[in-house]
Amino acid sequence: MPIEVLLVEDNPGDARLTREAFRAANSDVHVSVAADGVEAMTFLRQEGAFSRAPRPALILLDLNLPRMSGREVLASIKQDENLKAIPTVVLSSSDAAVDIDMAHALQVSCYITKPTLSDDLDRVVDRINDFWLRHVRFPATAVN
């Protein structure tokens, strides 16, 4: 049974590095990528081309995204009774206090500042995997 992770990331290079880092860290993880906020919400609501999309156990969300920002995606997830229980981790290059405080006010699960070097991204993914996928308990709906 794969562990479904939804990565919302518009930079193809970062998406690829993150996917590869998960592959190295945990072969049970299956990463789906949404390249903007509209696509992320369509995926989560299983609409249109994503009618068969899995419900993710964990969402990794960039903040600066085309069409619909990560902030709007986070607000939409947390206003949706069917989605609000999915742990949502912001993974953003922004270390601005306004972004960090906004995300926490919107009930982000946690906020991680994305490192600029790819080696460090590997390390971040390792730590996310170690903590979230080895220690944390998820609601049963997450594995359905």
Partner 1 sequence: MAKFSAPASAPREVLLVEDSPGDVRLTQEAFLAANRAVRLHVVADGVEAMAFLNRSGEHAGAPRPDLILLDLNLPRMDGREVLRRIKRDAALKAIPTVILTTSEAETDVSGSYQLQANCYLGKPVHLEAFEELVESINDFWLTMATLPQQH
**Residues engaged in binding partner 1 (CB under 8 A):** 78, 84-87, 95, 97, 100-101, 104-105, 107, 109-113, 115, 120, 123-124, 127, 130-132, 134-141
Q: Closer to partner 1 at the Cβ: 14 or 99?
A: 99
Q: Closer to partner 1 at the Cβ: 38 or 100?
A: 100
Starting at the earlier edge strand, list the strands of the sheet with 3-8.
29-34, 3-8, 58-61, 88-92, 110-113
CB of 49 to partner 1, least distance (A): 28
Q: Closer to partner 1 at the Cβ: 7 or 35?
A: 7
C-alpha angle 129/78/30, rounded to 5°? 30
> Which positions ≥6 away from 6 have C-beta within 8 Å?
31, 32, 33, 34, 40, 43, 44, 56, 58, 59, 60
CB of 52 to partner 1, least distance (A): 23
